[in-house]
Each structure stands twice: as C-alpha cells, then as structure tokens.
Amino acid sequence: MPEPPTTKTMKYSIITASLLLLLATPGLAQDNDLMNLLDDEPVTERITNAFKSPRVINTHSMEMLQPGTMDFRILHRFGEVNQGGYELWGLDQASMRMGFDFGITRNFMGGVGRSTSKKEIDGFLKYRILWQSKGAKNMPVSLVWVSGMTINGLKEPIGIEGVEVTFSRRLGYYHELIIGRKFNDRITVQLSPTLVHNNIVANELVPNDLFALGFGGRVKFTQRMAFVWDYTYVFNRFPPNISYNPLSIGVDIETGGHVFQLHFSNSAGMNERAFITEANGNWLKGEIRFGFNLSRVFQLVKREI
C-alpha cells in the first residue's frame, strides 16, 4: 500500500503548481494581446447610399447600381405652372423619358432611354474611378466619369431649310466628371464639370461645345424621405439671355423597392444635352414644371454572398 502524502509533500506540490501557473500566465496574456491586435486591424469601409438612385433629379449622381441589377426609370414632367387653370397649371401637357439602367460591375454601369421631346434616344456609360471610403484606406471623395450620346429622332431635326439631314447631324454627346462626398448619414454634396457637344447648331454664333458646372445634393430628414436638388451653370451659352440655367428641387420618398420623387424644374429636357443646351424657364415668372420620377430596381443576376 502506498504511503499517504505527507504535509511537506503537499506543500511542495502546491508551490510547484503555483510556479507553473505563474510561468504560464504571461504566455496566455501575450496570446490574448496578439488576438486583440488581429481583431483591431483596420478594415476599409466603402461609403454607400450617398443618393438613393444613380440620378439626383436631372443630373447623374455619384451613386452606382449593384452588379446584375436593372433600374427601370420613368421621368415625367408636365407643362409650366403659370399657364393657369385652363391648362390645369400645366398638368394638361406632359413629356416623359423612359430608361433602363444596368449595373455591370460594382464600378461600371450603363443605360439607355427614350424621350418624347425630339423623340430622342440616349445612352450612357458610367465608371467609378475612386470610391469614398474610410478605415484602412481613407478616400475623402468619390470620383465618377460619365459619357453619353443622344440621337434626335424627329423627321426634321434641324429645323433649318436647305440643310441636309444626315445621321451624324442628329447626334450630340456629353462628358461629365462627378466629384462627390457623403459627409454623414444625412448630407451628400457633389460637383460635376460637364462638356456637351452638338454636331450641328442653329447658326455660326451658337457654339457647338458648351461648358457647364453642375451642383447637386441630398439632405435626408426622415428615415425614408430626403430633400434633393441639382443646378447647372452654363458658361458660354449664346446668346446669354436666351435661357436660364436649369434648376430642379424635389423630395425623394422610399417605398420598399421603389424610389418615388416629386420635383419642380425649369427645364423640359431630361438628359444632359437637353437641359444644358435648350431653353429653360424663369423661376421668378412661374416658368417651372411639376414632375415626378419613379425608379424600380430589379435583380437580374443572382448576387454572390
């Protein structure tokens, strides 16, 4: 039979166990510190939902569609409100643009549309050069490039007698660089230097190339509603007093998969060539139009998780 441990032996065992525990503790603490360092490693957080759709009102926004999605858009604009009750303050007259925008990659999208005004067909490509982010990679702004083309579909698109109508003369182009920043969950602002080119103009005094600078923004005031605006200053319009710069203000309303927008604008055109080069109304004289934009996004391709 083994002898029972003596008091002296038990003391040595307790002391030995205590020493082993003390020696092991720094190692455990060090491992925990290393795990904490790994957990605290900074990650890049990309800023999303700067706007609720790829357009502010008239102008393109810094926002992009997700890959594999289609945004079906109906842009509807009535006549000028100063026409009085006989024309139901412009509601008896209307023009519209119907568009289909597609997200191709997370940084690349495109779209096509058709407007009742001038029976115009338009298309564009949009590429995100820089994506606003914070964390491991801090990028203060988003940088987005847009290039588009329009085709005048009228039988007599020029409106000048004796001028031969060719396909080339029906074309217009625009190029736009969007510089945008989402400051917080409520406020987003963007600038967009823009060049618009028309292949043919009314006379030699009207420039084929127009240079403009757009301003747009969004202020969210409830969970599902936001105030939005866009304004474009045109530098070299001729004659300078023939038109006013396009200004639009509105409210975005999110309703599930839809974004419904109510707005007022002094422009009838609903693409860059139209609202920058054509005549716009005077806000102070009531030459403004009520309208609405409806956006519905469909997932065409299953997204990878």
Q: Are residues 191 and 292 in the same domain?
A: yes
Q: Are residues 105 and 180 in the same domain?
A: yes
Residue 75: both structure tokens together: 């842009």
Instruction: Output the pLDDT for position 5.
Output: 52
The reply to whether 1 falls in a domain is no
End-to-end CA distance of the chain: 67
112 C-beta neighbours (distance < 10 Å), count = 14
Tell me, what amino acid is at 194?
T
Q: Are residues 12 and 113 in the same domain?
A: no
Evaluate whether 22 touches 154 at the Cβ level (below 8 Å): no
CA atoms of 284 and 286, how far apart (whole Å) = 6
pLDDT tens profile 241-267: 667 999 999 999 988 778 899 999 999
pLDDT tens profile 169-181: 899 999 999 999 9
Q: Does the pLDDT of residue 161 top 50, yes or no?
A: yes
Instruction: Output the pLDDT for position 220.
Output: 95
CA atoms of 226 and 186, how far apart (whole Å) = 8
Tell me, what amino acid is at 53?
S
Q: Are residues 157 and 126 in the same domain?
A: yes
**Segments forming the whole domain that contains residue 64:** 44-299
CA atoms of 283 and 234, how far apart (whole Å) = 17
**Count of domains observed in the chain:** 2
Tell me, what amino acid is at 102?
F
pLDDT tens profile 26-77: 444 445 554 554 556 678 899 999 999 999 999 999 999 999 999 999 999 9
Instruction: Output the pLDDT for position 24.
Output: 47
DSSP string, 29-78: HHHHHHHHHHHT---EEE---SSSSSBSSSSB-S--PPTTEEEEEEEEEE
Q: Are residues 191 and 277 in the same domain?
A: yes
Instruction: Output the pLDDT for position 28.
Output: 42
CA atoms of 69 and 215, how far apart (whole Å) = 27
Q: Estimate to the nearest angstrom the gap between the alpha carbon of 30 and the chain centroid.
A: 48
Q: Estimate to the nearest angstrom the gap between the alpha carbon of 224 and the chain centroid.
A: 17
Q: Which residue has the higher pLDDT, 14 or 90?
A: 90
Instruction: Output the pLDDT for position 25.
Output: 45
- CATH number, position 85: 2.40.160.40
The reply to whether 198 falls in a domain is yes
Q: Are residues 210 and 102 in the same domain?
A: yes
| Element of type H or E holding 15 | helix 7-39
> Is the bond leading into 239 cis (omega within 30 degrees of zero)?
yes
Q: Are residues 229 and 164 in the same domain?
A: yes
**This model's pTM is above 0.95:** no
Q: Are residues 24 and 114 in the same domain?
A: no
Q: Across residues 84-94, what is the average pLDDT?
A: 87
Q: Are residues 66 and 201 in the same domain?
A: yes
The chain-wide mean pLDDT, for the chain, equals: 86
Instruction: Output the pLDDT for position 21.
Output: 42
Q: Are residues 25 and 167 in the same domain?
A: no
Residue position matching structure tokens 């890959």: 67
The reply to whether 177 falls in a domain is yes
Residue 175: both structure tokens together: 């190029």
pLDDT tens profile 99-120: 999 999 999 999 999 999 889 9
pLDDT band, very low/low/confident/very high, at 9 (cuts 50, 70, 90): low
pLDDT tens profile 200-235: 887 788 899 999 999 999 999 998 999 999 999 999
pLDDT tens profile 270-279: 999 999 998 8
Dump strand ranges (E) for the chain.
44-46, 69-80, 94-105, 108-115, 121-130, 133-135, 142-151, 171-182, 187-198, 209-220, 225-234, 247-255, 258-265, 289-299
Q: Are residues 260 and 128 in the same domain?
A: yes
Instruction: Output the pLDDT for position 39.
Output: 56
pLDDT band, very low/low/confident/very high, at 19 (cuts 50, 70, 90): very low
